[in-house]
Amino acid sequence: MKSKAARTRGDLLLEMRGLRIEGQSSDAWQEIVHGVDLTLRRGEVLGLIGESGAGKSTIGIAGMGFARPGCRITGGSIVFDGIDLRKASAETLRRLRGSRIAYVAQSAAAAFNPAHRLIDQYAETAVLHGISSRGAAERDGRALFKRLRLPDPDRIGERYPHQVSGGQLQRAMVAMAMACRPDLIVFDEPTTALDVTTQIEVLAAIQSVVREFHTAAIYISHDLAVVAQMADRIMVLRHGNLVEEGTASRLIEAPQQDYTRRLLAVRGHRKDEAAPTVDAPVLEIRGVSASYGGGVKVLEDVSIKVGRGRTVAVVGESGSGKSTTARVITGLLPPLAGEVLFNGEVLPPACGKRSRDQLRHIQMIYQMPDVALNPRQRIRDIIGRPLTFYLGMTGKTRDTRVRELLHLIELDPDEYIDRFPGELSGGQKQRICIARALAAEPEVIICDEVTSALDQLVAEEILKLLQRLQNELGVTYLFITHDLATVKAIADEIVVMLRGRVVQQGGRQEVLTPPNHPYTDLLLSSVPEMQVGWLEALLADRAARKARGEAVMESADQ
């Protein structure tokens, strides 16, 4: 093992100057990183933040002297501890990777080899780089597993990747990166694929080992609140350029650039809570239980009421049954028991049995606008079809209405009416989906994770649009999401689901103010906040409450 004492914090470890990277798009090379400078000192954690296409992941991985297939480094220098990685031989690079620079991927489930046990994959690096013997590596692995609070640390290594849950696998990957006690670890969105309550565990694990071993790290994420917990210093990137750089606290408290300010403001948007309506609910589900193909029940006695003109958010983590609830309401999945009522009238369980008017009144918007629009139809026909189908509009009348709807969703009709979905951006596609739903003149729109596939700033715009449409048209939303920031921004009422059951439902203020059901509290407290030191405070608070003997609910994915 290398002596760490000799290397004090503060020496220059990694330096990139004028880094240029090109990416291949349909046979031609295009520059995607335009001369970025980056410096990293020993023991320092640098956060790279940006939306999709910012080049953050490409830059981070270039720090290992690596370019993914379809990418190439074309300019600038990358110097790691005095070694020029761009000029280094393949063998030199190979020796560095894994031993002195390690990598933690976004999806551990895909990045672990399905054919080998965890401990074998852990030990491979250390043995291969001649750092320790097989036995010593395994002992060290078990110790690290324990350190990272993996359950049953002595035996979990004997398992295969598919036998371990996502959050545990991600921590096992952090352990694997630590195996040779590298000088630098590149964390590439390590918690993006995880639920919020699981994310906390992984963040805590990363933070503790990085600090204990004084490892320098590049932490890549699209989520500024997460990066603020992990990084000493943050670089904000956009379209392959540096926007702003500074210490985490300076950047959060006094951002210099407009773009950074907008990223920071993302979670600030709040809606005024509407007064509860006295009318009978427009949509109601009563005692619904459901399963796929008669297997395990994914919904168990779920009842939800949705008042007219209000926004009801259904919140839950993966496997909570929130999307299944939407499928039951739309009639895609007829329930085993219970019923769906619309304006007090019981709807037939299967959508095939519902009348055209019943179908018209409940419309749906999906998570992925890319696959929710037929790529072979023009916008004119996509929005026009419900007009013809439900309202019998044709020719000029229909055309005029399509243009009105495009106006309503803030897209210029002349420019967009004849386009194909492939010629629009993600946010524009989602707007078209909204217009298509509105074309049916529905009373209720079900929004299934409508912002989760979008970049934060785009998502923000979509939420504002939905809010404006509700104010103008009085439409009712059932909002299905895992993202509590979205909930805070848009909901009047909140329904919290856990493993197929409703844990709590009530007005926004009521649900957001603890104490509540322990799961609601766990969920709410796990949402990262935009302030430095939030994670430590949260962990300290949870530890203190545990020490006092209070029941603290833990993530299902422990």
Partner 1 sequence: MSRSAIKFLKSAPWSARFGMAVILFYVTLAVFAPLIAPYGETAIVGPRFDLWGEAHIFGTDNLGRDMLTRLIFGARNTIGIAFITTCLAFAIGGLAGLLAAAVGGWVDQALVTLVNNMMGIPQLIFALLILTITGTSIPVLIVVIAVLDSTRVFRLSRAVAMNIAVMDFVEVARLRGEGLWWIVTREILPNAMPPLVAEFGLRFCFVFLFISALSFLGLGIQPPTADWGSMVRENASLITFGDITPLLPAGAIALLTVGVNFVVDWFLHKTSGLRDEK
Partner 2 sequence: MSKIVKMVAQRLALGLLTLFTVSLIIFLGVQLLPGDLAQAILGQSATPETVAAFRRELGLDLPAYVRYFDWLGGMLQGDFGHSLANKREISELIGQRLLNTLFLAGVAAAIAVPLALILGIMAALYRNTLFDRAINVATLTSISFPEFFVAYILIMLLAIKMRWLPGISNISGEIDLAERLYRVVLPALTLTLVVVAHMMRMTRAAIINLLASPYIEMAMLKGVPRWRIITHHALPNALSPIINVVVINLAYLVVGVVVVEVVFVYPGLGQLLVDSVSKRDMPVVQASALIFAATYILLNLTADLLSILSNPRLLHPR
Quick one: which of 73, 440, 454, 498 contacts partner 1 (CB under 8 A)?
440
**CA 188/CA 62 separation, integer angstroms:** 12
| 363-373 CB burial, b ≥16 within 10 A, e <16 | bbbbbbbeebb
Which CB, 311 or 330, lies closer to partner 1?
Answer: 330
From partner 2, partner 1, none, interface partner of 66 (C-beta below 5 to 8 A by class): partner 2
Quick one: which of 162, 356, 396, 548 contacts partner 1 (CB under 8 A)?
356
Asked if residue 372 binds partner 1 (CB under 8 A), the reply is: yes
Residue 492 beta carbon to partner 1: minimum distance, rounded to whole angstroms:
25
Place of tokens 């912002």: 451
How many binding residues for partner 1 (CB under 8 A)?
28
From partner 1, partner 2, none, interface partner of 368 (C-beta below 5 to 8 A by class): partner 1
How distant, in Å, are the alpha carbons of 35, 40, 316, 430 from that of 366? Answer: 38, 41, 17, 8
**Mapping DSSP to helix (H, G, I), strand (E, B) and coil, where does residue 535 land?**
helix
Asked if residue 95 binds partner 2 (CB under 8 A), the reply is: yes
Asked if residue 126 binds partner 1 (CB under 8 A), the reply is: no
Which CB, 8 or 374, lies closer to partner 1?
Answer: 374
Asked if residue 422 binds partner 1 (CB under 8 A), the reply is: yes
Asked if residue 322 binds partner 1 (CB under 8 A), the reply is: no
Compute the CA torsion angle 298, 300, 306, 311 (nearest 10 deg): -40
**CA 355/CA 361 separation, integer angstroms:** 10
How distant, in Å, are the alpha carbons of 63, 278, 315, 369 from that of 476? Answer: 49, 15, 17, 21
Quick one: which of 32, 180, 373, 379 contacts partner 1 (CB under 8 A)?
373
Which CB, 93 or 274, lies closer to partner 2?
Answer: 93
Asked if residue 89 binds partner 1 (CB under 8 A), the reply is: no
Asked if residue 376 binds partner 2 (CB under 8 A), the reply is: no
**CA 438/CA 224 separation, integer angstroms:** 33
Which CB, 19 or 438, lies closer to partner 1?
Answer: 438
**CA 87/CA 469 separation, integer angstroms:** 57
Which CB, 68 or 261, lies closer to partner 1?
Answer: 68
State the DSSP string of 332-396: SS--SEEEEEETTEEPPSSGGGS-HHHHHHEEEE-S-HHHHS-TTS-HHHHHHHHHHHHH---HH
Which x/- pattern, by CB under 8 A, does the window 64-83 give for partner 2? x-x-xx--------------
**CA 158/CA 95 separation, integer angstroms:** 27
Asked if residue 124 binds partner 2 (CB under 8 A), the reply is: yes
Q: Which residues, 173 to 192, sit near partner 2 by CB under 8 A?
A: 176
Quick one: which of 67, 341, 368, 465 contacts partner 1 (CB under 8 A)?
368
Asked if residue 69 binds partner 1 (CB under 8 A), the reply is: no
How distant, in Å, are the alpha carbons of 43, 112, 245, 352 from that of 218? Answer: 11, 21, 14, 52
β-strands 184-188, 216-221: how paired? parallel
Binding piece for partner 2, criterion CB under 8 A, among 121-129, 333-341, 458-466, 492-500: 121-129
Q: Give me 335's structure tokens.
A: 């329930």
CA-based nearest residue to 186, from 61, 277, 87, 97: 61
Asked if residue 105 binds partner 2 (CB under 8 A), the reply is: yes
Asked if residue 420 binds partner 1 (CB under 8 A), the reply is: yes
Q: Which residues, 147 to 166, sit near partner 2 by CB under 8 A?
A: 159-160, 162-163
Which CB, 64 or 438, lies closer to partner 2?
Answer: 64
Quick one: which of 67, 83, 128, 465 contacts partner 2 (CB under 8 A)?
128
**Mapping DSSP to helix (H, G, I), strand (E, B) and coil, where does residue 169 land?**
helix
From partner 1, partner 2, none, interface partner of 517 (C-beta below 5 to 8 A by class): none
**CA 465/CA 477 separation, integer angstroms:** 13
Asked if residue 350 binds partner 1 (CB under 8 A), the reply is: no
CA-based nearest residue to 124, from 143, 140, 108, 110: 140
**Mapping DSSP to helix (H, G, I), strand (E, B) and coil, where does residue 307 land?**
coil
From partner 1, partner 2, none, interface partner of 389 (C-beta below 5 to 8 A by class): partner 1
The residues, any chain, with a CB within 8 Å of residue 261's CB and separated by 6 or more, are: 255
Asked if residue 86 binds partner 2 (CB under 8 A), the reply is: no
Residue 233 beta carbon to partner 2: minimum distance, rounded to whole angstroms:
24
Which CB, 113 or 394, lies closer to partner 2?
Answer: 113
For residue 3, count other CB atoms closer than 10 A to its CB.
6
From partner 2, partner 1, none, interface partner of 112 (C-beta below 5 to 8 A by class): partner 2
Query: What residues line the site for partner 1 (CB under 8 A)?
Result: 26, 330-332, 351, 354, 356, 359, 363-364, 366, 368, 371-377, 385-386, 389-390, 420-422, 436, 440
Query: What residues line the site for partner 2 (CB under 8 A)?
Result: 61, 64, 66, 68-69, 93-99, 102-103, 105, 107, 110-116, 124-125, 128-129, 159-160, 162-163, 176
